[in-house]
Amino acid sequence: MANPLTGPRIAPKSGVAKQLVVFLHGYGADGKDLIEVGRQWQKILPDAAFVSPNAPEPCAMSPMGRQWFGLTMRDPNERWVGVTKARPSLDAFLDAELQAANLPDSALALVGFSQGTMMALHVGLRRPRAPGAIVGFSGVLVGPEHLAEATARTPKGEPPPVLLVHGEADETIPVEAMFSSAEELGKANIPTQWHLSRGIGHGIDGGGLLHGGMFLASSFGVRLPTR
């Protein structure tokens, strides 16, 4: 059995967790890469607990970093094989975190970057019960031909809301990936919003962070602060 995932976390500012935001980092990074986003979102999500697990494998191309799955760029199916293989460990982590916080799946949000976005979409859309939201920065939907598997639904029978954010000048995963992913999700009747960060490469700018935080607040039904 794989070792359980661990990583940095931030307790809710209010002291009591009503939502759980899980960050999924990119290839070659680790949980520390995204956890500070939680501090920036605390003002609009004071009841959220934030956790950023380290991916399960050491990164072959970056020994100090981690990977959700290996990338050789030689096998056209390696992304699909990778997300499928990595899914059980992430699902187990999410189940344990929700149970520990005594929260329902509707209080869960998955926020990914790059390879982490691939995982957030793959796992979040296939959970037994839909998470409250999925936010993907600078990533892509893996295996759109398999979206019939994306059966995660709320108690009302609705799929989870999705926000995709991408840099216009991304050379690692071109911005076309965001548009094609949104189109495929739309065909599968999965509500998807998107935000284009002008002049930004493979990264997250202030506008993208603001959109992501506001999207989570809206998805959770959290009233935004007036000042």
Catalytic residues: 114, 170, 202
Taken in order 56, 28, 100, 190, the sign of the CA dihedral is negative
Q: What is the DSSP string of 133-195?
A: EEEEES---S-GGGGGG-----TTS-PPPEEEEEETT-SSS-THHHHHHHHHHHHTT--EEEE
> The tokens of 64 are what?
């100090």
Q: How far apart are CA 129 and CA 105, in angstroms?
A: 6
3-state secondary structure of 88: helix
Q: How far apart are CA 170 and CA 203, in angstroms?
A: 8
Given a contact cutoff of 8 angstroms between Cβ atoms, the answer to whether 173 and 112 are in contact is no
> The tokens of 12 are what?
């809710």
SS3 of the chain: helix, strand, coil, percent, to 5:
35, 15, 50
